[in-house]
Structure 1
Amino acid sequence: MAPLTAAAVLLAAVTHAAWNAIAHSIRDRLVAFTLVGGGGAICGAVAAGFAPLPAADAWPYLASSVGIHMAYMYLLTKSFALGDFGQVYPIARGVAPLAVTVLAALFVGEVPAPLQTVGVLVASAGLGGAALWSVRGRRREDWPAVGAAVGTGLAIAAYTVVDGVGVRASGTALGYVAWLLLIQGVLLACCALAARRAALLGQLRPVAGRGLLGGALSMSAYGLVLWAQTRGALAPIAALRETSIIAGAVIGAVFFKEQLGRSRVVAALVVVAGIGLMLHA
């Protein structure tokens, strides 16, 4: 993996953790994701005016990705409603890399090089450690949150592979992410309007700035990942992106006063070791 590609994915990881934290900080989850989707749609509309239109071959993937992203948003909303940010975020992001590795090998024919595979496995072990720490000692009633977070991780893996193929066929990473977030944001707004009707505007207004900022960060994060996917294999990029777990743990500790703990520090060091192997493959 080229250093510039790795740097872009690492920046995307931090940005992704930031917008998830913003969404988590808004108590009404439907309002939060409507605003994040709206912010992404506004940025997407602006970018679509400057970027080339994705090639025809990319649109089936783009349409499939919109559907998977809608399912992902629903599952993420349920996760945040049922569990703590520091609990559900590591699980959701930790499930994805190994699932992407398997899906990319089966459907895209991308089998990582041996050292790269070891790096993915080591990083995934660290991510899995962070996820297991988050469920350690949980009460029985917390398990629905765990289930929703696992479902979120599988949705992440599905759209990662679909978008990885789609963006390569599109000929324009910016155009692909612009139309993806534009369509997705409009659909989210329609769903929210159908659910809340006239009350929606008043519910959006108090947190509009925060939510729209989350949307802008969302587009930036995913745009960087899609650009990277045009320049590298899907599995190591997915593993590197999920270092957002580490950023999420720090954000949870600093802003939500959630315990960081020795286990997460150890998990972070394991992830860093895996990243080192991937970068030297």
Structure 2
Amino acid sequence: MLSYTGGIVLLAAMLHASWNAMLHGNRDRFLSMTWMSIAIAAVATLVVLRNPLPASAAWPYIVASGLVHIVYNVSLVRSYRRNDLALAYPIARGSSPLLVTLGAALFAGEAIGPLRALGVAMVSGGIIVMALQGHRASRAGALAALTTGAMIALYTVIDGIGVRLSGDQPLSYTAWMFLFYWLMPVLFVAVRGLAPLWAPVRSEPLAVGSSLVGGLVSIAAYGIVIWALQSGAMGAVSALRETSVVFAVLIGRVFLRESVSGTRWLACIVVAAGAVCLGV
């Protein structure tokens, strides 16, 4: 049986795969990510107005995480521009749990038991097999996906430490960090101008609407992860979250008509078994 926390993180994994599929499914992913960010930042603004401040010790981590998230967003858009969802998403997500486990050991002094170590290895190994089987990624595409994975690991370790210093204010910590997402529309306007941001509101309202929904799903998914990072081992929480690749494969197959081989289905089973090791 999965623990209560494990079950909640699996829900976050499903939500995370859903908003990534929404992003990948939109034609202009930079525009879609920008509208997702607007939704996230707007919700974060409402939350910070109604909640106490995090403890002062958490602020350097809030700032660092907020900036890393912006780099992550740009890297994710580049990765999806170069690869299918079934390739880019597993490479990015599969490379992060082992990096998070290493970072947590180095910077937070976390140890991980044999069963959870096996779970991390199974999740990461299954994800990597899933990513490489039957696909040939270009050097630029693989580098973009791996860069995304490194950003995931970096912000996860930052948030894992920061939320524990927040004075038991995970919601406030998350909201203040997500305020940095207001930088995404600033970046978009700097690159393309204001008109291309607002024009789709009339010309493609469904695409803008799906992006806004994706933003709301995203903030819920990562909010759950930050809550779990308060007390859970960072590597285990990260690996359990990355079971989202299984949901991504299912979404890619059912909704985006991407092919899925028998080897990839087997890798999904390995990832799921690793999740059970992490959740007990």
Q: TM-score per shorter chain, which class?
A: over 0.9
1:182 aligns with 2:208: no
The separation in 2 between residues aligned to 1:198 and 1:120, in whole angstroms, is 44
Tell me what 1:45 maps to. Answer: 45
Tell me what 1:238 maps to. Answer: 238
Q: Is the 8 A contact 1:31 1:203 kept in 2?
A: no
1:197 aligns with 2:213: no
The separation in 1 between residues aligned to 2:269 and 2:228, in whole angstroms, is 24
1:173 aligns with 2:170: yes
1:266 aligns with 2:266: yes
Structure 1, unaligned stretches of length 5 or more? none
Deviation at 1:250, TM superposition (A): 0.5
Deviation at 1:213, TM superposition (A): 0.4
Tell me what 1:154 maps to. Answer: 150
Tell me what 2:102 maps to. Answer: 102
SS where residue 65 of structure 2 aligns? helix
The separation in 2 between residues aligned to 1:236 and 1:65, in whole angstroms, is 20
The separation in 2 between residues aligned to 1:19 and 1:226, in whole angstroms, is 17
Deviation at 1:274, TM superposition (A): 1.4
Instruction: Please tell me the root mean square deviation across aligned C-alpha atoms, in Å.
Output: 1.5
Q: Counterparts of 1:199-238 in structure 2 under 5 Å? A: 199=195, 200-205=197-202, 206=204, 207-238=207-238
The separation in 2 between residues aligned to 1:108 and 1:188, in whole angstroms, is 30
> Which segments of structure 1 move beyond 3 Å, counting only runs of 4 or more?
none
Q: Counterparts of 1:136-147 in structure 2 under 5 Å? A: 136-138=134-136, 142-147=138-143
The separation in 2 between residues aligned to 1:137 and 1:162, in whole angstroms, is 32
The separation in 2 between residues aligned to 1:58 and 1:45, in whole angstroms, is 18
Tell me what 1:255 maps to. Answer: 255
The separation in 1 between residues aligned to 2:14 and 2:43, in whole angstroms, is 19
TM-score scaled by length of structure 2: 0.94
Deviation at 1:219, TM superposition (A): 0.3
Residue deviations 1:66-123 (CA, integer Å, cap 9, x gap)? 1111111111110011111111011111110111111111111111012221221122
Q: Calculate percent identity across the aligned residue pairs.
A: 41
Deviation at 1:2, TM superposition (A): 7.4
Deviation at 1:222, TM superposition (A): 0.3
1:76 aligns with 2:73: no
1:16 aligns with 2:12: no
Deviation at 1:137, TM superposition (A): 4.4
Residue deviations 1:8-55 (CA, integer Å, cap 9, x gap)? 110000000111111112211221110110111122122223332111
Tell me what 1:35 maps to. Answer: 35
Deviation at 1:198, TM superposition (A): 3.1
Structure 2, unaligned stretches of length 5 or more? none
Q: Is the 8 A contact 1:79 1:149 kept in 2?
A: yes
The separation in 2 between residues aligned to 1:273 and 1:78, in whole angstroms, is 31
Deviation at 1:204, TM superposition (A): 4.7
Deviation at 1:63, TM superposition (A): 0.5
